[in-house]
Structure 1
Amino acid sequence: MSTPHLSANNTNNEDSAASPILLEIEPSANNTNEATQNNNEQQPDTIDKEDESPYAPKKRKRTSKVWVGFKEVTLPDGTIKVEYIYCKHRLTINKTGVTSHFLRHLKGCLRKQISDKGQKIISVTITIVESETVNVVQNFKYDHGKNREIFSHMIIVHELPFLFFEYEMFNLLMRTAIPYYHKISHATVKKDCMTSYEIDKKKVMESLKDMNRVSVTTYLWKSDQKVSYIVVTCHHVGSSWNLQKRNLNFLDVPPPHNGVSICDVLNKCLVKWGIENKVWSITVDNASYNDVVVRMLKDNLSYKNNLPLSGKLFHVRCCAHILNLLVQDGLSEIQDIFFNVRESVKHIAASETHVNIFSEISKQLKLSSKKLVLDCCTRWNATFCILSAALEFKDVFPRYAARDAAYTFLPSEEDWKKVSVVCSFLEEFNEITHLISGSEYPTSYFFLTELYTIKKLLNEASADEGSFIVEMINKMKIKFDKY
């Protein structure tokens, strides 16, 4: 299962033309209010347009458009007056709120009329027309709200800390590139990230309203803090007949982690997103508790939802997980063959000094620039990766052993031959695993072909009774026949 990424992680897969982002430079100091005033003179609405953006700073609303050209000042004697930003002329504030004298001064101010004839700021954008680069010159204005929106997506996509935008060098870079840039606090960035999430969540919910049927996949996993989460992913076909995938949520699963509690959490998620009556099928791995989850969920949904073929297609078992169990069972029969290889990689990866010595020997032998990788006990193809990577450096290990007296897991030449045979056999399974684990394209239409390929490989390998991996093959065939 793939991990979610908000907004950008949840990018619409349908083809769409990418629109350029135009930064608008905001005039500094006095020119700020001038630009706003000109905008308001064209649109008499008293509400500033920036207030419509959830990322823009909120401004106090004024009842008269003339206020954009004036600011309140306090005189030394404590008197409060208003000052026009162009000519610095000060006017008295009427207690009744009348602003007619402000408007008269605004229309007759000579300095403002001269300023209106000043030079506008322009930008140059590069576009490609019929394979030729064309420079387009146009006016623009700095939009701080748009920057905040983009920054929030940047934080989410690249998993940056909220404090990133308070870093001194980042702010120096932004002020150098854009003199009108305003520093953003980590609290503001956090709020903008939540705003971006809510906006994209609404978009996804709106798109799901138009769907008649969707398919759901779930996967339960534990974080480093031993907290259990379940990820819920929705799949459907978009209006342009493209496969769409949306990671709906990561849900905390409170103990006990049995089928009943997981079903309750999953059912609440479906109801929250409004798709409880649209679920066509649900794909899960082969954990025993998932049988209970699917059975209870099927009973709950069948009250209001007419499942296809009375729910016979509702429960879909993850083919990639079955293949993982299949190979894991087989590898358990030949653990002793690659024990020394795995322990060798662990020994080298345990210390930076070991890694540096190993890398130096690899450079001397002019071997591949690849690195050794550690495997994951729950994924068979990770074991394949560690064996195939170590096989490329088999000439390095003897030389490393001469430099490290604590290294006692040097594989023999016979071990390397057996590892080579195992990797050659598992290479086809590795390709099939990558193929059927795809999430950006349909996989069901070639599933049967790959299933036949696996059966053919097992039959051919089991025919060689003298092979040292025949026990592994036989155990894989038993698991294959079971499913």
Structure 2
Amino acid sequence: MVILHEYPLSMVEHLGFHRFMGTAQPLFKIPSRNTLESDILQIYDYERAKLKGLLEKNKGRIALTTDMWTSHNQRKGFMAITAHFVDNSWTLQSRIIRFIYVPCPHTSEMLADVMMACLHDWNIEHKLSTLTVDNCSTNNAMIRILLEMLSDVSLLLNGDMFHMHCSAHILNLIVRDGLDVISASVERIRSSVSYWTSSPKREEIFFETVNQLGIESTKKLVLDCKTRWNSTYLMICSALMYKTVFPRLKHKDPQYKNVPTEDDWVLAKEISDKLDVFYQATKEFSGTKYPTANNYLPTVCDIRDAINEWSTSTFEQIKLMASSMAHKFDSYWSKFHGIMVVATILDPRYKMKVMECYFPSLYGDGSSDEIIKIQEVLLRMVGEYEQKSKASQASSKLEYYLEEPVIPRVENFDILTWWKVNASKYPTLHCIARDILAIPVSTVASESAFSTGGRCVSPHRSRLHPKTVEALMCAQSWLGSEFNGTLAIGSGEEINDGMEL
């Protein structure tokens, strides 16, 4: 219970808990806090050994995500490292393997050393596919150092595709650049929402007016966090429901002055409609219970198409947004990550169709060259896997796969089950699919650990040793998976609350 539900270790000293257990089971001997902490470490060691055995026996490669976080209470930096893999039963698995205290300064050399120690400790340095990280210069340098350290081991494609940028953060950067263009309109809406949610009394006045106007109040106003564009999107959507309320409130409260204009609302409606594609993409990229790699290319191409469409808008501000967002898009996604495109090709609903559909509009006359580059990556991978498995006719199987018609696009398509069923038909391709479909396109799994971590290293647990913190975090991840995912660890569905985008 303490591990799974983040109860304080001091609960064993609480009078209420003693009375409850005395009534529920008088014979139960309540352990001391020290005994409880010792038991937690024993559970951690036991579950760690189980997971290590699972990773050793697993046939596929392991993708990693990592992120850094500093606890507000202890002012200590922690690094979360999460392993992602498709197990031998073709089920996608994600496990936190380290939640480790990292002393300052958090340099690229320090982070690389911590990462390498983790890889050696878990004996997985020879089974890696990619490492997905946030977009910053320290992480870029860390990966360069890691590639030098890992040069003698078996990396996929010699490590050429090892570095994965977090797609959710790239989306965040793109949208924030766009929102900066219309900051004045957004700020007036934000100011109004902030004013009317600042106290229970003001909220009461607000919804009294809502009822007087006969507006259905199905949602509350949502104040955003400026660093999370998706929360700004939700704030705009919630405010739009009550846009006729704000002018009426101006007459009720003389102190309320910063009322959004009609032009603000017209622009807000345009923005909310257009940002929906980004919001849906963020949710797609943030999933941890299903593969995301195969949907990377079509999702990113849809985003580029949306930006191109905005550039023809009749609203000058929307055009300016599109220009700013296109520039940021091109700085990260003018060239696609080769392995992610291969993941899309190995989705039987897409194969080469996505490239054939989108690349001409993205690259113009250079589209054929870009398709050839991706085909070369795919052939390199097939050759590499064929050599390791000593399989024959892998290339002909690839041609056979590509020549077969794509399957219909159905909702909730289970790509892992498809490859499990067709494994014998494509002995080499199914191994490639198993490895690259485990690769997450975002660091949400590692970042979500910190939404729990913020509570874990709270004032209630300020005396915890970093080793105990790690035991609690990792054991919760491992036990939660055994309880059929009932915990909210690493849940992509929690992007509104658990992750700073």
Q: The TM-score by the shorter chain falls in which range?
A: 0.5 to 0.7
Partner of 2:274: 425
Q: Structure 1: how far apart are the matches of 2:257 and 2:52?
A: 58
Amino acid at match of 2:43: S
Quick check: 2:177–2:324 contact (8 Å CA) kept in 1?
Answer: yes
Partner of 1:56: none
Q: Structure 1: how far apart are the matches of 2:101 and 2:308?
A: 44
Which structure is higher in strand share? 1
Amino acid at match of 1:479: K
Residues 1:350 and 2:198 are matched in the alignment: yes
User: Any idea what SS the aligned residue of 2:124 has?
Assistant: coil
Quick check: 1:345–1:372 contact (8 Å CA) kept in 2?
Answer: yes
Please report how far the alpha carbon of residue 235 of structure 1 lies from its aligned counterpart in structure 2 after TM superposition.
0.7
Q: Structure 2: how far apart are the matches of 1:334 and 1:311?
A: 41
Which structure is higher in helix share? 2
Partner of 1:162: 9
Of 77, 100, 124 in structure 2, the residue corresponding to residue 275 of structure 1 is 124
For the pair shown, which has the larger CA radius of gyration, 1 or 2? 1
Superposed CA deviations along residues 43-92 of structure 1, whole A, max 9, x for unmatched, are xxxxxxxxxxxxxxxxxxxxxxxxxxxxxxxxxxxxxxxxxxxxxxxxxx
Of 231, 254, 262 in structure 2, the residue corresponding to residue 382 of structure 1 is 231
Q: Structure 2: how far apart are the matches of 1:328 and 1:203?
A: 43
Amino acid at match of 2:263: E
Distance of aligned partners of 1:188 and 1:368 in 2 relative to their CA distance in 1, 3 Å threshold: farther
Of 171, 176, 186 in structure 2, the residue corresponding to residue 338 of structure 1 is 186
Quick check: 1:166–1:184 contact (8 Å CA) kept in 2?
Answer: no
Of 103, 108, 120 in structure 2, the residue corresponding to residue 259 of structure 1 is 108
Percent identical residues: 38
Amino acid at match of 1:275: I
Residues 1:460 and 2:298 are matched in the alignment: no
Quick check: 1:398–1:410 contact (8 Å CA) kept in 2?
Answer: yes
Please report how far the alpha carbon of residue 204 of structure 1 lies from its aligned counterpart in structure 2 after TM superposition.
1.5
Compute the TM-score of the two structures, normalised by the length of structure 2: 0.61
Q: Structure 1: how far apart are the matches of 2:200 and 2:36?
A: 37
Of 320, 323, 327 in structure 2, the residue corresponding to residue 474 of structure 1 is 323
Structure with larger RCO (C-alpha < 8 A, sep 6+): 2
Q: Structure 1: how far apart are the matches of 2:44 and 2:319?
A: 53
Partner of 1:220: 68
Query: Which range is displaced more, 242-251 or 255-264?
Result: 255-264
Any stretches of 5+ residues in structure 2 without a counterpart? 333-501
Quick check: 1:162–1:186 contact (8 Å CA) kept in 2?
Answer: yes
Any stretches of 5+ residues in structure 1 without a counterpart? 1-153
Residues 1:192 and 2:34 are matched in the alignment: no
Partner of 2:176: 328
Partner of 1:373: 222
Number of residues paired by the alignment? Answer: 329
User: Any idea what SS the aligned residue of 1:374 has?
Assistant: coil
Q: Structure 2: how far apart are the matches of 1:403 and 1:163?
A: 50
Partner of 1:148: none
Q: Structure 2: how far apart are the matches of 1:196 and 1:388?
A: 45
Partner of 1:26: none
User: Any idea what SS the aligned residue of 1:410 has?
Assistant: coil
Quick check: 1:319–1:436 contact (8 Å CA) kept in 2?
Answer: yes
User: Any idea what SS the aligned residue of 2:79 has?
Assistant: strand
Partner of 2:96: 247
Q: Structure 2: how far apart are the matches of 1:357 and 1:205?
A: 57
Of 51, 55, 59 in structure 2, the residue corresponding to residue 204 of structure 1 is 51
Report the aligned-residue RMSD: 2.3
Please report how far the alpha carbon of residue 426 of structure 1 lies from its aligned counterpart in structure 2 after TM superposition.
0.2
Quick check: 1:327–1:476 contact (8 Å CA) kept in 2?
Answer: yes
Quick check: 1:229–1:253 contact (8 Å CA) kept in 2?
Answer: yes
Please report how far the alpha carbon of residue 242 of structure 1 lies from its aligned counterpart in structure 2 after TM superposition.
0.6
Compute the TM-score of the two structures, normalised by the length of structure 1: 0.63
Q: Structure 1: how far apart are the matches of 2:234 and 2:70?
A: 23
Residues 1:293 and 2:138 are matched in the alignment: no
